[in-house]
Amino acid sequence: MTEEKVVEALAQVIEPGDSKDVIHLDKVRDLKINGKDVSFRLISPAASPPQQDEIRRHIDHALHQALPDIGQVHIHFQANTQGPSQAAAPPAEEKYIPGVKSAIAVSSGKGGVGKSTVSVNLAVALAQEGARVGLLDADIYGPNIPLMMGIKTPPSPQGEKIMPAENHGVRFISMAFFVPEDTPMIWRGPMVHGAIQQLLRDVAWGELDYLLVDLPPGTGDAQLSIAQLVPLSGAVIVTTPQEVALLDSRKGMAMFKKVSVPVLGIVENMSYFECPHCQEKTEIFDRGGGRAAAEKLSVPFLGEVPIDPAIREGGDHGVPIMISDPDSTQSKAFAEIAQRMTKELSITKSQQIGLKIIQ
């Protein structure tokens, strides 16, 4: 019995009269686990006894379905007595991207580390696990997600909203759809801020479990502006095996710390090349920089991805390796990284809502 599994189960319980779950709405407080028994307070706006019984049944069903060995479930209802003027502001997700449960930034301290490749394949890996996934190409200066996802045709408007493009089970949007390929994006920070704001507010993302945000490389004003604008639940830093990985990762962590975004972990891309004939591994760019950076910065190491021409070919032809060769070493690496990432996200959310665990 772990806090992550309890939180994941409670995240399936939709608040009556709302479209979001009790975890996302921050309704669960003081969660305690004692052996197999679970207890917590549930913030409920003056629910009547019949309503409380109904909510209790939904929660009991969700917990027993996800955790068959669970013992007693004790729910203490607490009315939200805050007046309208005292009520907490709505979550940032509701301001800009309604329906999105978690937004995760994929960042890098510099360009050329394969950040967009990691973003695309992680998005596909999550979709293959059954999650509803979106991908926002926030790399305004060099948008290439449409090429890598295999769709270059601009999405169609629907009323006042724009429908995101969709392929390989992932919904995505990019400025590349709206700007000619040979037009350079010579924009200052405020213009980038406005463009990202439009991509968030004017796109009908629908209900998403995860929205991955492919940030521009670096840690300048544009990146900081985007990190402040997008309601991020966490961030993933992509680096390469060289020793300078520590320096690049430290810059990324400093940026996210400034905007109070937790770093879920570090991904080391292009870790080594494995010969397809003799299976000998060659460490082209050295090895271990990402893991060492994670240890020194006290953040999780999410995994390493081998370098392979098939990954590049997949990006050029719009068929990510997760689709073209799902059984490859590279695809398995992306799948494992996606699983570790979501686990760290669950732990982070548990910590953010102040859960207390008694073993």
Q: What CATH number has the domain bearing residue 73? A: 3.30.300.130
Single residue among 79, 107, 132 that ends a domain in this structure = 79
Q: Is the confidence at residue 292, as pLDDT, over 80?
A: yes
Question: How much is the average pLDDT of 206-221?
Answer: 87
Question: How much is the average pLDDT of 158-173?
Answer: 92
φ, ψ at 266 (rounded to 5°): -115, 135
Q: Is the confidence at residue 18, as pLDDT, over 70?
A: no
Single residue among 18, 44, 79 that ends a domain in this structure = 79
Closest CA to 12 of 81, 101, 89: 101
- Both 66 and 181 in one domain: the answer is no
Closest CA to 27 of 353, 357, 356: 353
pLDDT band of residue 94 (cuts 50, 70, 90) is: very low
Question: How much is the average pLDDT of 240-252?
Answer: 77
The tokens for 337 are 């990284």
- Both 109 and 69 in one domain: the answer is no
Q: What is the pLDDT of residue 13?
A: 83
Question: How much is the average pLDDT of 58-69?
Answer: 89
Q: Residue 33 contacts by C-beta under 8 Å, 6 or more apart in sequence? A: 1, 2, 3, 6, 357, 358, 359
Provide the residue range defining the domain that includes 14: 3-79
Q: At what angle do helices 3-10 and 49-66 cross, to 10 degrees?
A: 130
User: Considering the chain, what percentage of its residues have pLDDT values greater than 90?
Assistant: 28
Question: How much is the average pLDDT of 303-329?
Answer: 90
* Degrees to nearest 5, angle at CA 356 with 355 and 359: 135
- Both 55 and 105 in one domain: the answer is no
**Weakest-pLDDT range from 123-137, 194-208, 279-293:** 279-293
Higher pLDDT, 247 or 61: 61
Q: Is the confidence at residue 85, as pLDDT, over 80?
A: no
- Both 179 and 250 in one domain: the answer is yes
- Both 66 and 106 in one domain: the answer is no
Q: Is the confidence at residue 71, as pLDDT, over 70?
A: yes
Residue 185 vs residues 76, 102, 113, 143, 306: alpha-carbon distances, Å: 54, 29, 21, 10, 32
- Both 318 and 196 in one domain: the answer is yes
Single residue among 79, 111, 145 that ends a domain in this structure = 79
pLDDT band of residue 51 (cuts 50, 70, 90) is: confident
The answer to whether residue 359 sits within a structural domain is: no
Instruction: Read off the CATH number of the domain in which 328 is found.
Output: 3.40.50.300
State which amino acid sits at residue 289: G
Closest CA to 2 of 51, 50, 49, 69: 69
Q: Where are the alpha helices (DSSP H) in 232-328?
A: 245-258, 289-297, 309-317, 321-324
Q: What is the pLDDT of residue 86?
A: 33
Residue 307 vs residues 72, 234, 280, 293: alpha-carbon distances, Å: 49, 26, 13, 19
The total of other beta-carbon atoms located within 10 Å of residue 310's CB is 16
Q: Return the sign of the alpha-carbon dihedral for residues 182, 188, 194, 196.
A: positive
Q: What is the pLDDT of residue 234?
A: 93
Q: Is the confidence at residue 32, as pLDDT, over 90?
A: no
Q: What is the pLDDT of residue 89?
A: 37
- Both 63 and 162 in one domain: the answer is no
- Number of domains into which the chain is organized: 2
Q: With a threshold of 0.75, does the pTM exceed it?
A: no
The overall average pLDDT reported for the chain is 81
- Both 62 and 107 in one domain: the answer is no
Q: Cα–chain-centroid distance for residue 117? A: 15
